Structure 1
């Protein structure tokens, strides 16, 4: 039996405990965010617009802990998924 073709995108990886990946499973997009503070959070989306809406809210300029260039790189990497 053939394994399904899932494509995994590394959005960022700061270290062993702080990373964000997005896995594409057909029309389903699964974002896995791992942090040393919160553990692992999984978000499932049925469309790219829903994923982008989540990303815009999650990485808001006002609350992002990092510089603006890093924030923009993360959002661009998500748009490329």
Structure 2
């Protein structure tokens, strides 16, 4: 059985989850703009590096709390 972590969910069309399958981390990002994207990582540091590049502070100006919540959720995986 895989462990699934919800990073965020605004509705059924905009969400991000991480599935832990042994040592493999699978990030599923569903958005109404791009559909579903899947990213596979072999380590937590690799996934966190991707997350830091994907969720940039300049994209969250005025919504720093939202960015911090997303990054905290990634760190807790």
Unaligned runs of 5+ in 1: none
Q: 2:43 aligns with which of 13, 23, 47?
A: 47
The alignment covers a number of residue pairs equal to: 77
Across the aligned residues of Structure 1 and Structure 2, the Cα RMSD in angstroms comes to 1.3
Unaligned runs of 5+ in 2: none
User: Which has the larger Rg?
Assistant: 1
Between the aligned partners of 1:25 and 1:38, the Cα distance in structure 2 is 25
**What SS class does the counterpart of residue 46 from structure 2 fall into?**
helix
Could you report, residue by residue, the CA deviation over 1:2-54 in whole angstroms, capped at 9, with x for unpaired residues? xxx21000110000100000000000000000000010000000000000000
Between the aligned partners of 1:24 and 1:39, the Cα distance in structure 2 is 21
In the superposition, the TM-score normalised over structure 1's length comes to 0.90
Per residue, is there more helix in 1 or in 2? 2
Between the aligned partners of 2:29 and 2:62, the Cα distance in structure 1 is 16
